[in-house]
Amino acid sequence: MKVVTGVVGNDIHVVANRLIELSLNARGFEVFNLGVNTYLEEFFDAAVETNADVLLISSLNGEAEGWSREVKLLRSKYKTLDKLVMVIGGNLVVGTADAETIVPKYKKYGFDLIFHQVDLNTGLDTLEEYLKERKIV
Amino acid sequence: MSLLQQEREIILSNEHVDNFDFAEVEDFIRNADKNLFISHHFKNKKKMLVQPRGGFPTYKKQFALNEFFVEANVDVLPLTIDSNTRLNDYATAKKMLLLSEENDVDMLNGYPLVTHGYRATRKMVTHFNKPVSLRHGTPDARLLIETALASGIFDIEGGPITYLLPYSKNFPLDKAFLYWKYVEKICANYSKLNEPINRESFGALTATLVPPAITITIQLLEMLLSLEEGVKSFSVSFSQTGSMNQDIVMGAVIKKLSRHYASSINCSDATINLVYHQWMGAFPTNKDFAEQLINMSTVIAAMVGADKIITKTREEASGIPTKEANAKTVANTQYTLGILNGLPKIVDEEEEEILTLEVNAIMEAVFNDSADTLWRKVFNSIKSGVIDVPFSPHIINHNEMITIRDAKKNIRIIKRGNVPIPDRCFLYEKAQCDLTKDTTSMVNDIIHDIGIMQ
């Protein structure tokens, strides 16, 4: 199971990104970590290049919201990404808002799983269950 | 004309610099008051120097901040530079400065020194007649440092490693080495005119579980890169680890080894000082707790025997501090230092030996690299992971080393990666930790270990 991950935009907060990589590795995923300060095109390019099953984008400073508006449009330009599971997590808003308003918004942007201020392991458990249910594992 | 002078003229002739007068600047430095030189204060000091952090966009606000600091009995004034200037985006810095001046709202997170220029800034520096320390985070600091020195700022923080690996994802490391070589040469040349210009390395690095061996190695290497260009006054530094014993051990080892390695390149005439950063990790949001943490940091700095302490404020968790909160820490820290008497001497020989062996092994691996110059050896060592900084965002960093805290909260290496930690030391480090846990609970421990002070 291949996962491309990284922190979107001009966000340089690296700590959680390293921990995500460690945790994914421990759970048996093959991880391609693009690190901090990564643009959407780079995520999709990497997903194509590695033939990834999951794209896990994270954000700490909340700028993900600005970038996410372009996800659907950009993804449609790639032909081989139909089966890619799209996950986003971290702090998904600049300022404050609760998950009830954020999750539907990000669903519309094209994400399958949305984790706003969710504990890392809870999020990864949910991802594993999701993959099992869809028989992607 | 020398090659260096040709480069200087290129760096200093552009639309952001208002007619840099080389002869006048040299004259100013030659005749500058000794009180502006931190090296002079280090030489004559009777106590630990106290320096806060701080930088505001407008001249007026920076001036007011300095007045507060002086009132609080500060020893060294800071000048923190805004992030646009750090990335050489002087046009944006100028625009944001104008907006800040017009609307009385701060549009920059520091003082845009290049935009203000050296003539204006020198007026402020000489008015207060205290040493000023330049705080930034700039990979290409050539224009910034020229402007700082011309302004009378004679304590220059930074270095090619410590201002790159914690701050940047992809600025080319080899270029950073060359740009900082320029800075060292300028500082060395001006040092011949009056008291020496002091260079200071930024040992806090990512402030996230960086093991002492990595911190000290990088401090020593930046010191050597500076001394070999002719700098005569250098400060090595590190930040509070979270374990008092580990801080004391680090202080002892870094003092011993900095002198040892300086004399190994025939630079024992250079003065080496030790700077201690109060806790650089995440702060408690409770401001009273923050003050307790700051006070404890001061006590540890005294136990470590630091020559200078750099302070935090009770507002650390909530953003850029007000001048009132900032000055309050200075006054509190001076008070604590004044009443800290009769400190016991603590020596942990076993820990000192382990740490010394580790640092020497990494230094030896760097020196054994086949490149012809020190900066290339260091560059290759970072590229190959011989030097590996936990939680650096930079693409060149290896990220193979893993560290956690032991039961006494010491930072321990549990995975070496390519860092040549000797087997005996590695076994010792691991023996202090509970390694029976699975990775999931280990990751939870790491999250806890990072936020230890919250």
Name the residue with tokens 């950009």. A74
Domain extent for B13:
3-339
* Of A8-12, A125-129, B6-10, the least confident: A8-12
Contact B446 A19 (CB under 8 A): yes
Check pLDDT > 90 for residue A12.
no
Q: Do B403 and B392 touch, CB atoms closer than 8 A?
A: no
Amino acid at B224: L
Please tell me the predicted confidence (pLDDT) of residue A11. 84
Check pLDDT > 80 for residue A95.
no
- Mark whether A11 is an active-site residue: yes
Size of interface A-B (CB pairs under 8 A): 42
Tell me the residues of B at the A interface, defined by beta carbons under 8 Å apart. Answer: 167, 169-170, 206, 208, 390-393, 395, 399, 402, 438-440, 442-444, 446-447, 450
Please tell me the predicted confidence (pLDDT) of residue B237. 98
Give the residue extent of every domain in chain A: 29-109
Please tell me the predicted confidence (pLDDT) of residue B437. 87
Q: What mean pLDDT is predicted for residues A42-65?
A: 94
Tally of structural domains, chain B: 1
Check pLDDT > 90 for residue A43.
yes
Please tell me the predicted confidence (pLDDT) of residue B403. 96
Q: What mean pLDDT is predicted for residues A35-60?
A: 96
Q: Which of A11, A98, A119, A125 is catalytic?
A: A11
Rounded CA-CA distance B68/B324 in Å is: 7
Residue B91 lies in a domain: yes
- Mark whether A116 is an active-site residue: no
Architecture of the domain whose range is A29-109: 3-Layer(aba) Sandwich (3.40)
User: What is the average pLDDT score of chain A?
Assistant: 93
Q: What mean pLDDT is predicted for residues A8-35?
A: 93
- What is the secondary structure of B371-439 as a DSSP string? -SSHHHHHHHHHHHTSS--TT---TTS----EEEE-TT--EEEEE-TT----HHHHHHHHHTS---S-H
Check pLDDT > 70 for residue A137.
no
Residue B417 lies in a domain: no
Residue B439 lies in a domain: no
Choice between A52 and B318, residue whose per-residue pLDDT is larger? A52
Domain CATH number, residue B328:
3.20.20.240
Amino acid at A71: V
Check pLDDT > 90 for residue A136.
no
Nearest in space to B217 (alpha carbons), one of B24, B367, B99: B367
The residues of chain B scoring below 70 in pLDDT are none
Rounded CA-CA distance A65/A68 in Å is: 5
Chain B contact set for A5 (CB, 8 A): none
How close is the nearest chain A Cα to the Cα of B390, in Å?
Answer: 9
Chain B contact set for A14 (CB, 8 A): 206, 391-393
Q: Do B312 and B283 touch, CB atoms closer than 8 A?
A: yes
Residue B365 lies in a domain: no
Neighbours of B32 (CB within 10 A): 20
Q: Is the ipTM of this complex over 0.85?
A: no
Optimal mutation site among A8, A12, A14, A31, interface B, most CBs of chain B within 10 A: A14
Residue B203 lies in a domain: yes
Nearest in space to B178 (alpha carbons), one of B374, B371, B386: B374
Which pLDDT band holds residue A73 (cuts at 50, 70, 90)? very high
Q: Do B219 and B203 touch, CB atoms closer than 8 A?
A: yes
